[in-house]
Protein backbone atom coordinates (compact mmCIF):
# COMPACT_ATOMS: atom_id res chain seq x y z
CA UNK A 1 0.00 0.00 0.00
CA UNK A 2 1.49 3.31 -1.09
CA UNK A 3 -1.27 5.84 -0.45
CA UNK A 4 -1.79 6.54 3.28
CA UNK A 5 -5.28 6.13 4.71
CA UNK A 6 -7.38 9.27 5.08
CA UNK A 7 -6.59 11.13 8.28
CA UNK A 8 -9.90 13.02 8.35
CA UNK A 9 -11.37 14.21 10.69
CA UNK A 10 -8.22 14.18 12.84
CA UNK A 11 -6.16 15.86 10.11
CA UNK A 12 -6.93 17.33 6.71
CA UNK A 13 -6.01 15.17 3.74
CA UNK A 14 -3.44 16.29 1.18
CA UNK A 15 -4.57 16.77 -2.45
CA UNK A 16 -1.20 17.68 -3.88
CA UNK A 17 -1.12 17.36 -7.66
CA UNK A 18 2.14 15.43 -7.47
CA UNK A 19 1.48 11.85 -6.28
CA UNK A 20 3.68 10.59 -3.46
CA UNK A 21 3.59 8.19 -0.54
CA UNK A 22 2.32 10.99 1.78
CA UNK A 23 -0.60 12.25 -0.36
CA UNK A 24 -4.01 10.81 0.52
CA UNK A 25 -5.77 12.22 -2.57
CA UNK A 26 -3.24 12.61 -5.41
CA UNK A 27 -4.47 14.27 -8.60
CA UNK A 28 -3.48 11.94 -11.46
CA UNK A 29 -3.24 13.17 -15.01
CA UNK A 30 -5.57 11.82 -17.72
CA UNK A 31 -2.77 9.53 -18.93
CA UNK A 32 -1.80 8.21 -15.47
CA UNK A 33 -2.02 4.47 -14.91
CA UNK A 34 -4.49 4.20 -12.02
CA UNK A 35 -2.73 1.09 -10.73
CA UNK A 36 0.62 2.83 -10.58
CA UNK A 37 2.33 3.36 -7.24
CA UNK A 38 0.93 6.32 -5.24
CA UNK A 39 -2.22 6.59 -7.42
CA UNK A 40 -3.90 3.21 -6.80
CA UNK A 41 -7.54 3.55 -7.88
CA UNK A 42 -8.99 1.27 -5.23
CA UNK A 43 -7.17 3.10 -2.44
CA UNK A 44 -8.39 6.47 -3.73
CA UNK A 45 -11.96 5.17 -3.59
CA UNK A 46 -11.42 3.82 -0.09
CA UNK A 47 -10.06 7.14 1.20
CA UNK A 48 -12.86 9.08 -0.48
CA UNK A 49 -15.53 6.84 1.05
CA UNK A 50 -14.03 7.02 4.53
CA UNK A 51 -13.70 10.82 4.35
CA UNK A 52 -17.32 11.22 3.21
CA UNK A 53 -18.59 9.02 6.03
CA UNK A 54 -16.51 10.98 8.56
CA UNK A 55 -17.92 14.25 7.18
CA UNK A 56 -21.48 12.93 7.36
CA UNK A 57 -20.88 11.87 10.95
CA UNK A 58 -19.64 15.34 11.90
CA UNK A 59 -22.52 17.16 10.17
CA UNK A 60 -25.27 14.77 11.15
CA UNK A 61 -28.61 14.51 9.38
CA UNK A 62 -30.41 17.67 8.28
CA UNK A 63 -33.60 18.10 6.28
CA UNK A 64 -33.20 21.84 5.69
CA UNK A 65 -31.13 23.75 3.16
CA UNK A 66 -28.69 26.53 3.84
CA UNK A 67 -30.10 30.05 3.50
CA UNK A 68 -28.55 33.48 3.84
CA UNK A 69 -27.75 34.47 7.42
CA UNK A 70 -28.08 30.99 8.92
CA UNK A 71 -25.68 28.66 10.73
CA UNK A 72 -25.55 24.87 10.74
CA UNK A 73 -26.19 23.73 14.31
CA UNK A 74 -26.05 20.35 15.93
CA UNK A 75 -29.44 19.42 17.39
CA UNK A 76 -28.38 16.19 19.08
CA UNK A 77 -28.72 12.48 18.30
CA UNK A 78 -26.67 12.78 15.11
CA UNK A 79 -28.78 15.50 13.52
CA UNK A 80 -28.30 19.14 12.58
CA UNK A 81 -30.28 22.04 11.13
CA UNK A 82 -29.75 25.46 9.59
CA UNK A 83 -31.01 28.25 11.81
CA UNK A 84 -30.74 32.01 12.27
CA UNK A 85 -31.28 31.59 16.03
CA UNK A 86 -28.17 31.03 18.10
CA UNK A 87 -28.38 28.30 20.73
CA UNK A 88 -27.10 28.72 24.28
CA UNK A 89 -23.35 29.09 23.85
CA UNK A 90 -20.31 30.05 25.92
CA UNK A 91 -18.04 32.57 24.25
CA UNK A 92 -14.39 31.66 24.22
CA UNK A 93 -13.03 35.10 23.33
CA UNK A 94 -13.77 38.74 22.61
CA UNK A 95 -16.61 39.60 20.24
CA UNK A 96 -16.64 42.78 18.15
CA UNK A 97 -20.18 43.98 17.52
CA UNK A 98 -19.34 46.49 14.79
CA UNK A 99 -21.74 49.09 16.26
CA UNK A 100 -24.71 46.88 15.38
CA UNK A 101 -28.02 47.05 17.28
CA UNK A 102 -28.94 44.28 19.72
CA UNK A 103 -32.65 44.28 20.49
CA UNK A 104 -34.68 42.63 23.25
CA UNK A 105 -31.56 41.56 25.18
CA UNK A 106 -31.51 40.63 28.87
CA UNK A 107 -28.12 41.12 30.54
CA UNK A 108 -27.13 39.29 33.69
CA UNK A 109 -23.96 39.46 35.77
CA UNK A 110 -22.21 41.81 33.37
CA UNK A 111 -19.36 44.28 33.81
CA UNK A 112 -17.68 47.02 31.83
CA UNK A 113 -14.05 47.29 30.86
CA UNK A 114 -12.10 49.54 33.23
CA UNK A 115 -9.34 51.39 31.41
CA UNK A 116 -6.40 52.54 33.53
CA UNK A 117 -5.20 55.70 31.80
CA UNK A 118 -2.29 56.43 34.14
CA UNK A 119 -1.07 59.96 34.78
CA UNK A 120 -3.06 62.78 33.23
CA UNK A 121 -0.31 65.32 32.80
CA UNK A 122 -1.78 68.68 31.79
CA UNK A 123 -3.95 67.48 28.89
CA UNK A 124 -5.76 64.31 27.87
CA UNK A 125 -7.90 63.51 24.85
CA UNK A 126 -10.35 60.89 26.02
CA UNK A 127 -11.41 57.98 23.78
CA UNK A 128 -14.46 55.89 24.57
CA UNK A 129 -12.92 53.09 22.53
CA UNK A 130 -10.52 52.49 25.44
CA UNK A 131 -13.47 51.67 27.69
CA UNK A 132 -16.54 53.37 29.12
CA UNK A 133 -15.10 53.38 32.63
CA UNK A 134 -11.70 55.04 32.97
CA UNK A 135 -9.37 55.76 35.87
CA UNK A 136 -6.87 58.61 35.78
CA UNK A 137 -4.22 59.81 38.23
CA UNK A 138 -4.20 63.62 38.49
CA UNK A 139 -0.55 64.62 38.51
CA UNK A 140 -1.13 68.02 36.90
CA UNK A 141 -3.81 70.62 36.22
CA UNK A 142 -5.44 68.79 33.34
CA UNK A 143 -7.73 69.80 30.50
CA UNK A 144 -9.76 66.81 29.31
CA UNK A 145 -10.97 66.79 25.70
CA UNK A 146 -14.13 64.73 25.49
CA UNK A 147 -14.50 61.95 22.88
CA UNK A 148 -15.80 62.80 19.41
CA UNK A 149 -15.71 61.37 15.90
CA UNK A 150 -17.81 59.47 13.40
CA UNK A 151 -17.54 56.29 15.48
CA UNK A 152 -18.99 57.88 18.63
CA UNK A 153 -22.49 56.47 19.04
CA UNK A 154 -25.50 58.39 20.32
CA UNK A 155 -26.25 57.26 23.86
CA UNK A 156 -22.60 56.66 24.77
CA UNK A 157 -21.81 57.08 28.45
CA UNK A 158 -18.44 57.60 30.11
CA UNK A 159 -17.44 57.34 33.76
CA UNK A 160 -14.20 58.94 34.96
CA UNK A 161 -12.58 58.05 38.29
CA UNK A 162 -10.06 60.78 39.05
CA UNK A 163 -7.52 60.35 41.84
CA UNK A 164 -5.35 63.20 43.11
CA UNK A 165 -1.67 62.39 43.42
CA UNK A 166 0.22 62.59 46.71
CA UNK A 167 0.53 66.34 46.34
CA UNK A 168 -3.13 67.10 45.63
CA UNK A 169 -4.60 70.40 44.53
CA UNK A 170 -4.84 69.35 40.85
CA UNK A 171 -7.63 70.92 38.83
CA UNK A 172 -9.63 69.51 35.97
CA UNK A 173 -11.34 71.21 33.02
CA UNK A 174 -13.56 69.50 30.45
CA UNK A 175 -14.18 70.75 26.92
CA UNK A 176 -17.69 70.73 25.46
CA UNK A 177 -19.54 69.58 28.60
CA UNK A 178 -22.89 70.89 29.86
CA UNK A 179 -23.01 70.45 33.62
CA UNK A 180 -26.07 69.97 35.79
CA UNK A 181 -27.35 73.36 36.92
CA UNK A 182 -24.78 74.97 34.61
CA UNK A 183 -22.33 74.63 37.51
CA UNK A 184 -18.90 73.30 36.61
CA UNK A 185 -17.72 71.14 39.53
CA UNK A 186 -14.48 71.75 41.39
CA UNK A 187 -12.45 68.61 41.97
CA UNK A 188 -11.54 67.56 45.48
CA UNK A 189 -8.05 68.85 46.21
CA UNK A 190 -6.76 66.70 49.07
CA UNK A 191 -3.87 64.34 48.49
CA UNK A 192 -5.17 61.02 47.09
CA UNK A 193 -8.77 62.30 46.96
CA UNK A 194 -11.04 60.46 44.53
CA UNK A 195 -13.81 62.03 42.45
CA UNK A 196 -16.19 60.14 40.16
CA UNK A 197 -17.75 61.99 37.22
CA UNK A 198 -20.36 60.62 34.81
CA UNK A 199 -21.02 61.79 31.24
CA UNK A 200 -23.49 60.95 28.49
CA UNK A 201 -24.05 62.14 24.92
CA UNK A 202 -27.36 61.82 23.13
CA UNK A 203 -26.14 62.74 19.67
CA UNK A 204 -22.56 61.41 19.39
CA UNK A 205 -20.68 61.93 16.14
CA UNK A 206 -18.03 64.53 15.37
CA UNK A 207 -19.81 67.35 17.25
CA UNK A 208 -21.24 65.67 20.33
CA UNK A 209 -22.94 67.40 23.21
CA UNK A 210 -21.77 65.86 26.47
CA UNK A 211 -23.77 66.18 29.68
CA UNK A 212 -21.81 65.89 32.92
CA UNK A 213 -22.79 64.87 36.44
CA UNK A 214 -20.95 64.49 39.72
CA UNK A 215 -21.39 60.93 40.96
CA UNK A 216 -19.26 61.38 44.06
CA UNK A 217 -16.45 63.49 45.51
CA UNK A 218 -13.74 63.14 48.13
CA UNK A 219 -14.23 59.38 48.21
CA UNK A 220 -10.72 58.51 49.41
CA UNK A 221 -11.70 57.75 52.99
Give the residue extent of every domain in the chain.
1-61, 114-216
Residue 1 has pLDDT above 60, yes or no: no
DSSP the chain: --SPPP-TTTSPPP--SS--TT-SS----TT--TTSTT--HHHHHHHHHHHHHHHHHHH-B--S---TT-EEEEEETTEEEEESS--S----S----TT----S----S----EEEEEE-TTEEE--GGG-SEEEEEE-S-EEEEPP-STTPPTT-EEEEEEEE-SS----EEEETEEEGGG-PPPPP-STT-EEEEEEEESS-SSSPPEEEEEEES----
Give the pLDDT score at 63: 65
User: Hey, which of 65-74, 94-103, 115-124 has the most confident mean pLDDT?
Assistant: 115-124
What is the model's pLDDT at position 183? 92
How high is the pLDDT of residue 26? 78
Q: What is the mean pLDDT of residues 148-158?
A: 95
Output the pLDDT for position 221.
61
Q: What is the pLDDT of residues 44-62, one digit of tens each?
A: 788 888 888 877 776 667 6
pLDDT at 57: 73
Amino acid sequence: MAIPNTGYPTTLDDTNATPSATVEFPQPASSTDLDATNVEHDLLHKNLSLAIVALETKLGITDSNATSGTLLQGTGAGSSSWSSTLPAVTLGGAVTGGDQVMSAVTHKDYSETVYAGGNTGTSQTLAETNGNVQTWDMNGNCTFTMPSGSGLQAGTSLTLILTQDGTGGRTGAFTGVKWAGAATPTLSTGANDIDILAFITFNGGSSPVWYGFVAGQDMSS
